């Protein structure tokens, strides 16, 4: 990763959820700006809408958002790939068509399941939040990291 790469994680591992949300919203804005300026990117400028909708959701707002391959994930800590938090079994995948796909996954249990595909960032966020709430109702997220 280069220093100017918007996917570079600024968190030092001690970030509060609020700091992580602020960082991710800024990153989404930079991705959208790059998408608008580029003729070679496949992703339309829809990340800011997704991050804003997710930040407005009370269930998701308590968590730490992070991205992997521009998919939006949620965890209990700022860097679950380093063991700092547990990931929830859902992700929101921005699609080339300008839509969002919400997926549920289970560690070591085959491929993910598509729960919803929609043009609405708010509907995608609501579906992901339901999966998070179900997971919390069963005792919490998995230790397995994406």
DSSP string, 33-82: HHHHH-SS-SS-S-HHHHHHHHHT-HHHHTSEEEEETTEEEEESSSBGGG
> What pLDDT does 32 receive?
87
Copy the structure tokens of residue 119.
Answer: 């043009």
> What pLDDT does 36 receive?
85
> What pLDDT does 50 receive?
95
Task: Average pLDDT across each block of 10 residues of the chain; the chain has 146 residues. List them in order.
Answer: 34 68 90 82 84 96 90 90 88 93 79 93 98 89 58
Sign of CA dihedral 125, 126, 127, 133: positive
Copy the structure tokens of residue 96.
Answer: 């080339």
Copy the structure tokens of residue 65.
Answer: 């958002």
pTM over 0.95: no
Q: Which of these, 55, 34, 61, lies nearest to 45 by C-alpha position?
A: 34
């Amino acid at each position: 990763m280069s220093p100017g790469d918007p996917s570079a994680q600024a968190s030092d591992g001690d970030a509060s959820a609020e700091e992580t949300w602020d960082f991710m919203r800024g990153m989404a804005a930079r991705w959208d700006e790059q998408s608008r300026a580029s003729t070679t990117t496949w992703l339309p400028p829809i990340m800011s809408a997704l991050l804003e909708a997710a930040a407005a959701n009370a269930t998701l707002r308590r968590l730490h958002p992070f991205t992997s391959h521009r998919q939006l994930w949620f965890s209990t800590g700022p860097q679950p790939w380093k063991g700092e938090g547990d990931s929830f079994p859902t992700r929101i995948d921005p699609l080339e068509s300008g839509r969002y796909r919400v997926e549920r996954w289970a560690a070591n249990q085959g491929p993910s399941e598509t729960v919803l595909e929609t043009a609405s960032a708010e509907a995608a966020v609501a579906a992901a939040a339901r999966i998070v709430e179900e997971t919390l109702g069963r005792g919490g997220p998995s230790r397995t990291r994406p």
